[in-house]
Amino acid sequence: MSAAPKESRFGPDGQLQPGREPVSSRYVLGTRVDATSYSATAREVLSLAGRHESRYICVANVHMVMEAVDSRDFREIVNKAELVTPDGMPLVWALRCLGVGHATRVYGPELVLAVCDLAAADGVPIGLYGGHPQVLERLVTTLSHRFPGLTIAFAESPPFRPLTAQEDGDLVERIQSSGARILFVGLGCPKQERWMAAHVGSISAVMLGVGAALDFLTGSKPQAPRWMRESGLEWLFRLLTEPRRLWRRYLIHNPRFMVLFAWQLLKRVAAPSS
């Protein structure tokens, strides 16, 4: 049975809905980014899952923001998310520049672990959708060993092509019948965000778009050393490890982001005197 879509924490205008817990948020090049934390995000996920609500959460980085700059409909999808967490350090710095001094990073792989920890303790079933079949198999083993009480009710790797309407309907039915209340979606940006938005109301679970986190957690892709992640140099590590796939993302999107965000800051500083 499909879940009825619920009102998001934020309305169509991006403003907090009455009665919802406040979150410090700013718009970075038109994309809303929320100054949340691992614990706060994980608690919110478990709260929504406990009420069987159909929502989605975006884990944002510079790539996502620039995809949103280039696509108005994608920007609207991200801005309608229940939460948009700052996965990359540049977005943490952007939040701080925009007046949210307490902003911290919410890194996708660590967020997955934080949510699984609470889900295991509360007996909330999770699901996994995305990645290669071998990666998904290893991830199920990894999470089961790390969180013995965790119920992984659903795990499926999609084909590398769009699903037909019949296949998508069957997929939704499998997810629904599995009983999963939290669904980690690892299809890559912007595909996973579009997929989650398209399935709000038909999947009664909290969906988290976690990108390559599934690969990082299994060791299928190497993670940058912690010092590089904390200093904002993770992009360089990823570019060196996957140059053919990621060169455009980092060598084109990153400089554009820096120029456009500098312009946003200049306009913000000039606004009071205009």
Q: Where are the domains of the chain?
A: 25-273
Query: What is the predicted pLDDT for the residue at 274?
Result: 44
The torsion of the CA quartet 30, 85, 127, 123, rounded to 10 degrees, works out to -140
Query: What is the predicted pLDDT for the residue at 272?
Result: 64
Alpha carbon distance 94, 29 (integer Å):
10
Alpha carbon distance 56, 208 (integer Å):
6
Average pLDDT of every residue of the chain: 90
Query: What is the predicted pLDDT for the residue at 1?
Result: 39
Instruction: Compute the average pLDDT of residues 12-39.
Output: 76
> pLDDT tens for residues 144-176?
999 999 999 999 999 988 899 999 999 999 999
Above pLDDT 90, what percent of the chain?
72
Query: What is the predicted pLDDT for the residue at 43?
Result: 96
Instruction: Compute the average pLDDT of residues 210-238.
Output: 87
Residue 18, pLDDT > 60, answer no
Interacting residues of 167 by C-beta distance below 8 A, sequence separation 6+: none
Q: Give the residues across from 200 on adjacent strands.
A: 203
